Structure 1
Amino acid sequence: MAEPAGSPLGAAQVDHALVARALLTDDRRAFEQLVRRHQGMVRAQLRRLLDGDETKADDLAQETFLLAWRKLHQFRGEARFSTWLYRIAYSCFLQARRSLPKTARDTQENSLDQQTSPRATVELRLDIERAMRQLSDAEQVVLLHVVQLGLSHDEAAYVLAMPLGTVKSHTQRGKAKLRTLLADWQATPQEELGS
């Protein structure tokens, strides 16, 4: 039975066909289709890693796709094409972060303390952001990929170049810490009504 075109398997098959076209015939239009299919997800990943800095995220997304074009022959299909792109994007993020002077890195990491975006006015969102900042860097980046981006533990391990067990441990520890830090938001409706 054929898989529907909208399913993940159908999407993976389309991606593999476009990669094959781009590689076999140097078809830049096929690669442009891959970019259109995945640019939103890559930009979203980078925006989250960069605390909402859209300009820097767009720059790194462009760098990600340039690298993907140059290294397309290295894509072996062992992971989904989107997972492979997430790994390149994460590497670009790490490289950009390493190239910042230490004071700029500290400023970037603390930028949410000094600014609030118009969308961040809801108390829950602010509390979640504060709670996330209390997690270790590894727990934050694993939860970003597993929870927010919806990758499996295997895919996150591939993207982050971490052992699978480490990804699972960071996920479990990070979620447990968030439950504790956000315990006040877990009140039942009766408790909120004072019953």
Structure 2
Amino acid sequence: MADSAAEARIDQALVARVLLGSDQHAFEQLLRRHQGMVRAQLRRLMRGDDAAADDLAQEAFLLAWRKLDQFRGDARFSTWLYRIAYSCFLQAYRKKSPSSMDGDDEVVEQLAAPVHAIDLQLDIDRAMQRLSSSEQTVLLHCVQLGLSHEEASYVLAMPLGTVKTHATRGKAKLKAWLAPWREAAGEERT
């Protein structure tokens, strides 16, 4: 946790440098520190459309530059940046025509940590697709991106209780649907 606090202090110092003197170098450092995770967030949300995700990331970074004076420090800079990126995603998603969505209401394709068994990965992917889009989105931010429930609530502009509910329900469904894998793993150990 000390590393997280140190990282937050570095971000706050860089933000202060930008705000005090329009220090573009300091802002570039902020982007280098966080661009990988923002791009990963958007690539997952854009279901692997890397080009569109990168375009949204650029849009999010431009918005962050323009609105940096609105960063109050109530949340970590990374959380604030994730929220901007998620808002860019939502705007792009809402602009899509119904035909370009292929009738698929699901927003996120997968969250699971990398695994070696192809069959398990396929089952995880299928299970994730069965979750509601809200459950998928919350699990993306809480599990894959490692945000706390409070941070995910801020990023997604959802009440904290709703985030917790979606996380709990999503995890319970995945656990139930993937139970045969856990049982098989238990049998292999004995």
Please say whether Structure 1 and Structure 2 have the same fold, judged by a TM-score greater than 0.5. Answer: yes
Residue 51 of structure 1, CA deviation = 1.5
2:101 is matched with 105
Match of 2:36 among 31, 37, 40: 40
Partners of 2:153 and 2:163 within 8 A in 1: yes
1:116 is matched with none
Which 4+ runs in 1 deviate beyond 6 A?
none
In structure 2, distance between residues paired with 1:84 and 1:190: 41
Residue 189 of structure 1, CA deviation = 4.3
After superposition, where does 1:116-127 map in structure 2 within 5 Å?
A: 122-127=118-123
Residue 121 of structure 1, CA deviation = 8.1
Establish whether residue 170 from structure 1 lines up as the match of residue 144 from structure 2. Answer: no
Structure 2: state its 5+ residue gaps: 110-114
After superposition, where does 1:76-91 map in structure 2 within 5 Å?
A: 76-91=72-87
Establish whether residue 51 from structure 1 lines up as the match of residue 57 from structure 2. Answer: no
Establish whether residue 128 from structure 1 lines up as the match of residue 141 from structure 2. Answer: no
In structure 1, distance between residues paired with 2:133 and 2:186: 36
Residue 14 of structure 1, CA deviation = 0.6
Aligned pairs, how many?
185
For residue 62 of structure 2, give the secondary structure of its aligned residue in structure 1.
helix
Partners of 2:105 and 2:133 within 8 A in 1: no
State the AA in 2 paired with 1:22. V
In structure 2, distance between residues paired with 1:121 and 1:183: 16
Q: CA, structure 1 residues 190+98, in 2 after alignment: closer, same or farther (shift >3 Å)?
A: closer
Residue 106 of structure 1, CA deviation = 2.6
In structure 1, distance between residues paired with 2:173 and 2:133: 13
Establish whether residue 11 from structure 1 lines up as the match of residue 7 from structure 2. Answer: yes
Partners of 1:120 and 1:126 within 8 A in 2: no
Higher Cα Rg, which structure: 1
Structure 1: state its 5+ residue gaps: 114-118
Structure 1 vs Structure 2 CA RMSD: 2.5
Q: CA, structure 1 residues 179+29, in 2 after alignment: closer, same or farther (shift >3 Å)?
A: same
State the AA in 1 paired with 2:72. R
State the AA in 2 paired with 1:167. V
Deviations 1:148-185, CA, capped at 9 Å, x for gaps: 11100000000000010000000000001101111221
Moved more, 180-189 or 29-38: 180-189
Residue 82 of structure 1, CA deviation = 0.2
Partners of 2:42 and 2:57 within 8 A in 1: yes
In structure 2, distance between residues paired with 1:150 and 1:77: 19
In structure 2, distance between residues paired with 1:29 and 1:85: 18
Residue 52 of structure 1, CA deviation = 1.7
